């Protein structure tokens, strides 16, 4: 039995090498050198190249275990990971988190685009009428040009974000009913795909963010976190997205209640990782509990995750079967778009917020469910608290007090002006 200690090889591949397995494996190779040398190196080992992955400085290919062993010895190779399968995370709610409060104040996500990398999106009435809000479509599976969803998962997710309730006469309305949706199909009809597909999809979203005014990326998907975040291809890809100014919202996973079951790229500290709550189909949050399936932290790197939780059990949203139909689904996939939609509302209010500021304000406004940090993060998403009006009349985010307002009213000049204005108004009425 060959002993493999090379730190450049992920645990899954190391196990294959140690067992003397002689098979061809799908892998992602990351390099410290230019892509042309990496390409030539792979080809010299009789490997078949599938996709270039410039976003993370690598490529996806098929290699024999012997070739992988030899390749890892090259000084220019940074890391070799298994090209893991990525899965859509399937397993009343808007009122529970206070979205009605925000919508009543005039925030609906108008002008904000959320990219949904998933199984595609069907042209449901609630996204197409009276105005089409699916502003773009890219298919990494079948290369089609017209938006579709042959699974249903992506359509359901998009509905939680942006359904306007057209077919239900307002009954099933999403968080941001005026937001635009960018549909990116990177998962197949079975709700699965390869890590390399997702990396390329994220790269495409970044490259086209100005074209579609993309501010948020929803990833209701995940893959087992077999690698540290610094080496994980998905983690590296989402970091690039965040650094480009896009807020990335990711599902924690459906592997609970096991500890340390957070999926990639939810293990990344830069993204907003969302766990699922069972709201018991009531508006009152007092009876809410963490869904049993919701993945728990800590991460493989010892990071506390999820960041927060939102409703994810028996969520009614859009169906891909008919243009006016709805369906109920559960899972971390359903919890994630609640947060993505909320972020769209935040950015409609203040378009200058950075991804870091968005995350901080979201977490500051959560309600502590008195559960462990490994299961709830900081707590339950609450939009009413997030958009609560400050005493001065200025809307504030979270529990941050408007320090300038107190200074404003303590200024004697301003105070005198306000008194005079009040007197003038009284005289005018007479």
**What are the residue numbers of the active site?**
118, 153, 333
Task: Kindly give the interhelix angle for 332-349 and 355-364, rounded to the nearest 10 degrees.
Answer: 110
Give per-residue burial for 185-196: e unless 16+ CB within 10 Å, then b: bbbbeebbbbbb
Strands 134-139 and 180-185: parallel
Measure the CA–CA gap between 218 and 225, rounded to whole angstroms: 19
Neighbouring C-beta atoms of residue 124, cutoff 10 Å: 27
Cα distance between residue 195 and residue 122, in whole Å: 23
Comparing CA positions, the residue from 230, 226, 297 lying closest to residue 264 is 226
What is the DSSP pairing of strand 85-88 with strand 192-194? antiparallel
Instruction: Name the DSSP letter for residue 213.
Output: T
140: left (phi over 0), alpha (psi -120 to 50) or beta: alpha
**Cβ–Cβ < 8 Å for 40, 71:** no
End-to-end CA distance of the chain: 99
Hunting for tokens 């901080």 — which residue is that? 360
Cβ neighbour number for residue 394 with a 10 Å cutoff: 11
Task: Report angle CA 23, 24, 26 to the nearest 5 degrees.
Answer: 135
d(CA 15, CA 343): 41
CA distances in angstroms from 280 to 42, 52, 121, 203, 315, listed in the order given: 53, 46, 28, 38, 11
């Amino acid at each position: 039995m060959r002993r493999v200690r090379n730190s450049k090889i992920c645990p899954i591949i190391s196990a294959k090498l140690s067992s003397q397995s002689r098979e061809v494996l799908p892998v992602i190779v990351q390099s410290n050198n230019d892509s042309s040398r990496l390409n030539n190196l792979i080809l010299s080992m009789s490997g078949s190249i599938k996709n270039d992955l410039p976003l993370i400085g690598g490529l996806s290919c098929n290699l024999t275990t012997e070739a992988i062993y030899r390749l890892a010895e090259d000084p220019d190779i940074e890391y070799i990971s298994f090209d893991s399968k990525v899965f859509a995370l399937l397993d009343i709610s808007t009122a529970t988190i206070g979205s009605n409060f925000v919508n009543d104040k005039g925030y609906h996500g108008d002008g904000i685009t959320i990219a949904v990398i998933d199984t595609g999106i069907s042209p449901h009435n609630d996204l197409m009428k009276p105005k089409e809000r699916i502003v773009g479509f890219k298919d990494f599976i079948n290369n089609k040009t017209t938006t579709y969803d042959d699974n249903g998962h992506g359509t359901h997710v998009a509905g939680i974000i942006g359904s306007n309730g057209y077919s239900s006469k307002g009954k099933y309305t999403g968080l941001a009913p005026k937001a635009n949706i960018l549909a990116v199909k990177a998962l197949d009809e079975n709700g699965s795909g390869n890590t390399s597909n997702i990396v390329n999809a994220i790269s495409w979203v970044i490259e086209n963010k100005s074209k579609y005014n993309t501010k948020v990326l929803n990833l209701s998907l995940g893959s087992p976190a077999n690698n540290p975040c610094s080496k994980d291809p998905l983690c590296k890809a989402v970091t690039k997205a965040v650094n480009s100014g896009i807020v990335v919202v990711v599902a924690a996973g459906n592997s609970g209640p096991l500890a340390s079951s957070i999926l990639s790229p939810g293990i990344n500290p830069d993204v907003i990782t969302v766990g699922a709550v069972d709201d018991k189909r009531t508006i009152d949050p007092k009876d809410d509990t963490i869904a049993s399936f919701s993945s728990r932290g800590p991460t493989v790197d010892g990071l506390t995750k999820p960041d927060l939780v939102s409703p994810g059990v028996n969520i009614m949203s859009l169906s891909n079967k008919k243009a006016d139909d709805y369906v109920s689904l559960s899972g971390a996939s359903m919890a994630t778009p609640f947060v993505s939609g909320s972020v769209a509302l935040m950015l409609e209010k203040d378009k200058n917020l950075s991804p870091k500021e968005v995350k901080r304000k979201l977490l500051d406004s959560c309600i502590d469910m008195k559960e462990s940090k490994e299961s709830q993060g900081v707590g339950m998403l609450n939009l009413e608290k997030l958009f609560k009006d400050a005493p001065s009349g200025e809307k504030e985010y979270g529990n941050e007090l408007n320090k300038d307002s107190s200074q404003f009213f303590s200024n004697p000049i301003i105070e005198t002006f306000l008194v005079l204005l009040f007197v003038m108004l009284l005289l005018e009425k007479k």
